[in-house]
């Protein structure tokens, strides 16, 4: 993690934050139950639930038994999901009746959340190339009772079709460093070779995803971490983004999609590197992350 020192203003606070245990958060599956009814059922079993200040369908939970071991979990009344993991679908803003592609969908946390936003109306294509992870995706879609989803098994960068989707989510495979609070072995940082390979794949996935939207609406929200693609320059340990290093998204010279910044009333965090060094189409991309002061 040392290589991020230059871009994190308060390193001590950051280091403390990644050593602080994560609260358990659940998302009500509103396709099956209301937040109030779920809260009543779990409180009757001895759990204590506090709603998140910014997402009333989700609760921070404390209890003596694991939250995955209840009948309500098996009945698909909720999904255990980190609070920060709720943000991408909130940003995507799916609506009922739309056609939505989730290019990297397993195990289905965000796919099932998308289905909720869609009120189970329209078509959600949930894609996942790993057969093993596909099983978890299917299990979660069944458990939560999602009917609007079609599941496909395809490497995302080769996903067929052009301009067919209203919205596309790319929750690309990554180094996992962002989960260091949950996985202590990642606090030392992921190997740079892995990060570079993943960054290259992420660019191919983004390129594919942006072309899955209609030509006149080629826009997208990019979620850029400095980590993937971060590399040491001149031994200073200063990272820069893969997008900045590697040039345009589409090497074949196809029309470039225009990313746009997310506009929301919330504190989403800054753009980290201020777009410096990024190719023009990417300058409006924004890094989205929970800040230490984000209240659960
Ligand atoms: C960060 S996880 C997705 C988590 C999921 N969106 C959720 O919310 O539960 C990334 C997923 O991308 C999948 N993946 C790996 N290589 C891929 C590729 N070439 N195309 C599409 N997905 C890929 C991984 O198997 C993994 O399931």
pLDDT digits (tens, 9 = 90+) for 172-202: 999 988 888 888 888 888 898 999 999 999 9
Strand partners, 258: 219
Q: For the CA atoms of 63, 66, 69, 71, what is the dihedral angle to 10 degrees?
A: 20
**Average pLDDT along the chain:** 78
Q: What is the CATH number of the domain that holds 135?
A: 3.40.50.150
Nearest CA to ligand 1 atom 20: 156
Q: Which residue has the higher pLDDT, 221 or 105?
A: 105
Q: How many Å lie between the centroid of ligand 1 and the Cα of residue 128?
A: 6
Q: Which residue has the higher pLDDT, 166 or 256?
A: 166
In a domain, 262, yes or no: no
Residue 230: its pLDDT value, please? 32
In a domain, 279, yes or no: no
Ligand 1 pocket mutation pick from 84, 85, 106 by most atoms within 8 angstroms of CB = 106
Range from 86-90, 154-158, 159-163, 215-219 that averages highest in pLDDT: 154-158
CB of 133 closer than 6 A to ligand 1? yes
Asked if the peptide bond before residue 107 counts as cis, ω within 30 degrees of 0, the response is: yes
In a domain, 198, yes or no: yes
In a domain, 120, yes or no: yes
CB of 181 closer than 6 A to ligand 1? no
CB of 104 closer than 6 A to ligand 1? yes
Distance CA(62)–CA(34), nearest Å, equals 20
Q: How many Å lie between the centroid of ligand 1 and the Cα of residue 246?
A: 22
**pLDDT greater than 80 at residue 245:** no
CB of 213 closer than 6 A to ligand 1? no
DSSP 48: E
Number of Cβ within a 10 Å radius of residue 47: 20
Nearest CA to ligand 1 atom 22: 104
Residues 18, 12: contact at Cβ < 8 Å? no
This prediction has a pTM of 0.79
In a domain, 281, yes or no: no
- At 54, the pLDDT band (50, 70, 90 cuts) reads confident
In a domain, 247, yes or no: no
Give the structural domain span for 129.
2-17+86-242
- At 60, the pLDDT band (50, 70, 90 cuts) reads very high
Q: Could you tell me if residue 46 is left (phi over 0), alpha (psi between -120 and 50 degrees) or otherwise beta?
A: left
Residue 155: its pLDDT value, please? 97
CB of 32 closer than 6 A to ligand 1? no
Q: Mind listing the pLDDT tens digit for each residue in 251-270?
A: 344 444 444 444 333 333 33
CB of 86 closer than 6 A to ligand 1? no
In a domain, 219, yes or no: yes
Pairing of strands 78-80, 24-28: antiparallel
CB of 107 closer than 6 A to ligand 1? yes
Residue ranges of alpha helices (H) inside 8-160 are 11-18, 35-44, 71-74, 87-92, 109-117, 131-143
Residue 53: its pLDDT value, please? 86
Residue 167's nearest CA partner among 76, 102, 82 is 102
Number of Cβ within a 10 Å radius of residue 91: 17
Over residues 82-100, the mean pLDDT reads 91
Q: How many Å lie between the centroid of ligand 1 and the Cα of residue 172?
A: 5
Which two three-digit tokens encode residue 53? 């200040």
In a domain, 272, yes or no: no
Burial class (CB in 10 A: 0-12, 13-18, 19+), 46: exposed
Atom from ligand 1 closest to the CA of residue 128: 22
Question: How many domains are contained in the chain?
Answer: 1
């Amino acid at each position: 993690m040392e290589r991020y020192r230059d871009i994190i203003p308060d390193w001590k606070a950051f280091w403390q934050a990644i050593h602080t245990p994560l609260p358990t958060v659940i998302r009500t599956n509103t396709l099956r139950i209301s937040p109030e009814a779920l809260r009543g059922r779990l409180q009757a079993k001895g759990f204590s639930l506090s709603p998140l200040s910014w997402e009333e369908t989700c609760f921070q939970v404390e209890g003596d038994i694991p939250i995955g071991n209840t009948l309500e979990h098996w009945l698909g009344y909720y999904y255990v999901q980190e609070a920060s993991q709720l943000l991408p679908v909130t940003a995507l803003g799916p609506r009922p009746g739309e056609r939505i592609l989730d290019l990297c969908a397993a195990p289905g946390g965000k796919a099932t959340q998308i289905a909720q936003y869609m009120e189970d109306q329209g078509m959600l294509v949930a894609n996942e190339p790993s057969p093993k992870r596909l099983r978890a995706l299917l299990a979660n879609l069944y458990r939560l009772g999602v009917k609007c989803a079609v599941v496909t098994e395809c490497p995302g960068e080769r996903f067929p079709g052009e301009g067919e989707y209203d919205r596309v989510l790319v929750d690309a495979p990554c180094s996992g460093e962002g989960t260091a609070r949950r996985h202590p072995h990642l606090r030392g940082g992921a190997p740079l070779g892995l990060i570079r390979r993943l960054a290259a794949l992420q660019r191919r996935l983004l390129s594919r995803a942006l072309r899955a939207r209609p030509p006149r609406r080629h826009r997208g929200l990019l979620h850029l971490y400095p980590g993937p693609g971060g590399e040491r320059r001149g031994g200073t340990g200063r990272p820069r983004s893969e997008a900045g290093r590697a040039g345009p998204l589409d090497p074949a010279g196809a029309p470039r999609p225009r990313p746009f910044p997310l506009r929301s009333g919330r504190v989403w965090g800054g753009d980290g590197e201020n777009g410096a060094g990024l190719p023009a189409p990417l300058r409006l991309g924004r890094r989205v992350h929970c800040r230490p002061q984000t209240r659960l």
